Structure 1
Amino acid sequence: MNHPFFALLNTLNHWHWGVFAAALTLLELVLPLSLFLWMGIAAAVVSGALFVWPSLGWQGEIMLFLFVFAASTGLSRLRFVRPSLPVRPLPRPAQAVTPSHRASQYVGRLFTLAQPIRDGLGSLHIGNTLWTIRGLDLSAGTQVKVTGFEGEVLAVEALEEQASRRDDDLGWP
């Protein structure tokens, strides 16, 4: 083993490995691949080992570097990389009132139906907008209250129905 490359490896000390560790860590800041960081940690461990055991030899240095690099990379994958889980959308409440949603401004307001509600669906003119509404089948001219919304569909109930529901809640006949 009289090759000049091996002679060069024999001259490495803890300062060389420390500079190599710093360079790899800085390279990780420039190119965030999460690879150079673990190489830098491995080089820092080798630097510390050479400070304590200067007679480690270049074979021991390379073996220690490769072992610490593989171990730190493997542990980082266990800690930071999660298995891919199926992505499910979060459940959305049916009547989530958000101030930025146009329909939320009509919740609680009273309107008179110009057209009947048939098969649970109808339409209602509010200002210059025609809204789709859903609720029980009601005839034209019935006064309704907007109780909520789902997307761009307003939920309505007849006022008489709400009054009778309030009476039932209070225990009145």
Structure 2
Amino acid sequence: MIDFIAGNGPWAWIVAGLVLLALELVVPGGFLLWMGISGIITGIVVLVWAIGWPLQWLIFGVLSLVSIALWVRWTRSRPTATDRPHLNRRAEQFIGQEVVLEHAIEQGFGRVALGDTVWRVSGADLPVGHRVRIVGYDGAVLKVEAV
């Protein structure tokens, strides 16, 4: 088997690259895609120039690492486009709204009702029924100021 692979080195790289590309369909994640492309490129390089196995593995390894690193860097630098930017960040959608205090702010904390949820708020001490504007948040605590 090793003699067969050694005798057909370029085609072995190309077939291995295609197998890695096929595996990417089964195990998504992106890494096998770039390793498959690197295997195919290595096979093409070996078709053009006859080089030894250690250099072939070096070419494959370097191409794989560089392409995966560039792909990871590129995907992390791009924001994910979404039609619901505040999904799982509910507090952000309330910034700027004016609401009425349900429970007075005493010692820096009180409560307001927003939709079907009662939120804890922080700010200057204010009585029940006072209008406040949400100006920020800290975790699940909304920061408010008097209107």
**TM-score computed with the length of structure 1 as normaliser:** 0.46
1:25 to 14, 17, 20: 14
RMSD over aligned CA atoms reads 3.7
Could you tell me which runs of 5 or more consecutive residues in structure 1 were left unpaired when the two chains were aligned.
Answer: 1-8, 10-15, 47-63, 83-97, 160-173
Q: Give the direction of change, closer, same or farther, for the CA distance of 1:78–1:31 in structure 2 (3 Å limit).
A: closer
Q: What percentage of residue pairs aligned between the two structures are identical?
A: 29
**C-alpha distance in structure 2 between counterparts of 1:77 and 1:126, whole Å:** 50
Number of matched residues?
Answer: 112
Correspondences of 1:2-151 after superposition (within 5 Å): 20-31=9-20, 34=35, 37=39, 40-41=43-44, 43-44=46-47, 45-46=49-50, 64-73=51-60, 75-76=62-63, 79-80=66-67, 98-100=85-87, 101-151=89-139
In 2, Cα distance between equivalents of 1:104 and 1:81? 34
Higher strand fraction (1 or 2):
2
What does the per-residue CA deviation read over 1:7-66, in whole Å, with 9 as the maximum and x for residues that have no partner? Answer: xx9xxxxxx96x5413430232113564882763564222xxxxxxxxxxxxxxxxx423
Change (3 A) 1:104 1:74: closer
If the length of structure 2 is used for normalisation, what is the TM-score?
0.52
Greater Cα offset, 150-159 or 66-75: 66-75
Question: Do the aligned partners of 1:42 and 1:68 also contact (CA within 8 Å) in 2?
Answer: no
Residues of 2 paired with 1:145 and 1:74: CA distance? 57
Greater radius of gyration (CA): 1
Note closer, same or farther for the CA distance 1:30–1:145 as it changes in structure 2 (3 Å cut): same
Secondary structure, counterpart of 2:103 in structure 1: coil
Change (3 A) 1:106 1:77: closer
* Structure 2, unaligned runs of 5 or more: 22-31, 70-84
Alpha-carbon displacement from aligned partner over 1:65-88 (angstroms, at most 9, x marks no partner): 235325424643674466xxxxxx
Measure the CA separation in 2 of the matches of 1:69 and 1:21: 9
Deviations along 1:79-100, one digit per CA (max 9) or x if unpaired, are: 4466xxxxxxxxxxxxxxx444
Distance 1:154 1:102 in 2: 11
